[in-house]
Chains A and B, each alone.
Chain A
Amino acid sequence: MTRIERITAWSAWAVAVAAVIFLMTPLVVTVAVSFGSSSVFTLPPPEWSMRWYERLPRTTGLLPSVMTSLQIAALSTLIALVLGAMCAIALVRGRFHGREAIATFLVSPLMLPGLVIGIAMLQAFREMGLRDAWTSLLIAHVVIAMPYVVRTVLGALSLFDFSLVDAARTLGCSYPRALRKVMVPALAPAFLTSGMFALLASMDNYPISIFFTDAWTKTLPIQMLQYVEESPDPAIAAISAGLILLAVIALMIGDRLVGLRRLADF
């Protein structure tokens, strides 16, 4: 290694270390603030305390919004998994034109501005006479979840060797049993990770959900932004810390199932 190469490598490592600190800053700050006693976000906090966590159960509107978010996220992910997996099988196994185009189409909601999608849906739902907030949210969130499912399941399916199913049948398995014994275990990690990311995306969505909430039906991000605008205090940091914990758990599950390295295969 020449001197220039060594210097380049060292500077790249320095940038990477800075990037790690930069990326972790908001999470560390949030958790630190949530355990502080001060109500004005002093860092480091003068004293550690649990007061903001103790206040959470009494925060108006928090529990209903968490429940709404969980219901919408779980149901929309489930619907997206079923529709998305069927479609992924068609795209991998089928021999027809436009498969590439269909895949791009199903992933495209990820690349377009959420607000624009939200407005377009709002106007369409109104025209169809759909006014119920909860139903509208569910229908809209399937579109949010779909890209994550299609992308991951498509990737896993195209790596799956379908002749294994035939092999199992040759060895005496019935077709459903062959699918259950061979295909399901091979694809389960892809299903779980894509489901997890779809769930997180739905739980986190703001720009589409904002058009379908009313006074009674709010998702968690909408409710949180309302708290931030009305009374910014560390109770929001406590809610955030809970969500960060959720993300840590999700990531650990993802690591166990497919490994962090494979998650990075974009």
Chain B
Amino acid sequence: MTSSSIGRREPFDRVALLAVPAVAYLAIIYALPLVWLLARSVIGPKGFTLEPLADFFSDPFNWRVIANTLKIAGLVTLVCLVIGYPTAFVLAWARGPAQIVLLAAIFLPLSVGVVVKAFAWQIVLRRDGILASGLMQLGLTSEPLRLLFTESGLVLGAANVFLPFMILPIYSVVKLLDSRLNDVGATLGADPLYRFRHITLPLTLPGVVTGTAFVFSLSVSMFVIPSLLIGDRYQTLATLIGRSFLMMRNEQLGSTTATVLLVLAVSVVMTAAWIARRVGRSA
């Protein structure tokens, strides 16, 4: 910042004009349509109405759909956290070829489309697929396990697709960890568990919050993965939206469900941002 701009009211900066095209584009093509979608769900032919939303929430089926969505997203997030947290540490520790392998294993799947990966999981999860026959050969199951079109299969496939979004944010805080802090703790006589709880965990929490929010909001909104791995009998908010628009041609239901999903996704992102700020301040 130049010294002349401090303490004075800033004059209009012409550089700001460069931002106008992009902001205007997104405002017209993306933000206004979203606001309009929200508005339409509470504005009927006779003005303000909560009728579509009330209808939506009075149907027990829709509550089941919401419960399914949250349950799957929660499980996927948990699986990603359990695998992703240690992996992020190893990514920060690793050097040379080990690090390259890890980075490639994170970025290659990230660059491959979700249709490709979901289709591959269809093959893996088949009753005669490698997972079921592998488990049988290990003697863990006596007959081929049915995994495709089950909740477990869906959670496994979705966790696979979203795992990089958990590892990377945690890695970005782990690599900033000062290992001397841990040594200081050890010198002062703190045992490893105590040091983890009072040094490592609080310092890596911002990454955990970001990763969790990423994976949770991606899982709440996923559409292709459940369409291929669990099918029509099990509905989530996103598949219900897809179905009501693309198959049942019920745009009213689709728009209302879209509003519910949008509010859910936005509140996840905002809650995460709020927690991240609080965690950041206390750490």
> Which A residues contact B (CB, under 8 angstroms)?
2, 4-5, 8-9, 11-13, 15-16, 18-20, 22-27, 29-30, 33, 40-43, 83-84, 86-87, 89-91, 93-96, 102, 105-106, 109, 111-117, 119-121, 123-124, 139-140, 142-143, 146, 150, 197, 200, 203-204, 206-207, 210-211, 221, 224-225, 228, 232, 236-237, 240, 243-244, 247-248, 250-251, 254, 260-261, 263-266
* Contact across chains for A142 and B126 when beta carbons are under 8 A apart: no
* Contact across chains for A23 and B105 when beta carbons are under 8 A apart: yes
Q: Which residues of the other chain, B, contact A261 by a CB distance below 8 angstroms?
A: 99, 103
* Contact across chains for A12 and B19 when beta carbons are under 8 A apart: no
Q: Which residues of the other chain, B, contact A116 by a CB distance below 8 angstroms?
A: 34, 37, 221, 241, 258, 261-262, 265
Q: Does B254 contact A (CB under 8 A)?
A: yes
* Contact across chains for B123 and A24 when beta carbons are under 8 A apart: no
* Contact across chains for A206 and B115 when beta carbons are under 8 A apart: yes
Q: Does B138 contact A (CB under 8 A)?
A: no
Q: Which residues of the other chain, A, contact B149 by a CB distance below 8 angstroms?
A: none
Contact string against A for B residues 201-241, beta-carbon threshold 8 Å, 1 for contact and 0 otherwise: 00000000000000001001101100110000000001001
Complex Cα–Cα for A218 and B102 (A): 35
Binds A, one of B57-65, B85-93, B275-283: B85-93
Q: Which residue of A lies closest to B11 (CB)?
A: A95
Q: Which residues of the other chain, A, contact B119 by a CB distance below 8 angstroms?
A: 30, 224, 228, 232, 236-237, 240
Q: Which residue of B lies closest to A112 (CB)?
A: B265
Q: Which residues of the other chain, A, contact B1 by a CB distance below 8 angstroms?
A: 95
What are 9 A-B contacts defined by CB distance under 8 Å? A16-B87, A16-B91, A27-B120, A119-B245, A120-B33, A143-B25, A197-B111, A221-B224, A263-B103
Q: Which residue of A lies closest to B120 (CB)?
A: A26
Q: Does B44 contact A (CB under 8 A)?
A: no
Complex Cα–Cα for A243 and B114 (A): 11
- Inter-chain contact total with CB atoms closer than 8 Å: 278
* Contact across chains for B172 and A265 when beta carbons are under 8 A apart: yes
Q: Does B124 contact A (CB under 8 A)?
A: yes
Min CB distance B126 to A, Å, is: 7
Complex Cα–Cα for A145 and B83 (A): 29
Top 10 closest A-B pairs, CB basis?
A113-B221, A26-B120, A204-B113, A16-B90, A124-B33, A247-B111, A120-B33, A90-B19, A90-B18, A87-B22
Q: Does B52 contact A (CB under 8 A)?
A: no
Complex Cα–Cα for A80 and B8 (A): 35
* Contact across chains for B19 and A251 when beta carbons are under 8 A apart: no
Min CB distance B165 to A, Å, is: 9
Q: Which residue of B lies closest to A42 (CB)?
A: B128
Q: Which residue of A lies closest to B17 (CB)?
A: A90
* Contact across chains for B120 and A24 when beta carbons are under 8 A apart: no
* Contact across chains for A15 and B115 when beta carbons are under 8 A apart: no
* Contact across chains for A30 and B116 when beta carbons are under 8 A apart: yes
Q: Which residues of the other chain, B, contact A26 by a CB distance below 8 angstroms?
A: 109, 112, 116-117, 120-121, 124, 160
Q: Does B144 contact A (CB under 8 A)?
A: no
Contact partner, A210, options B34, B220, B246, Cβ 8 Å: B246
Complex Cα–Cα for A142 and B89 (A): 36
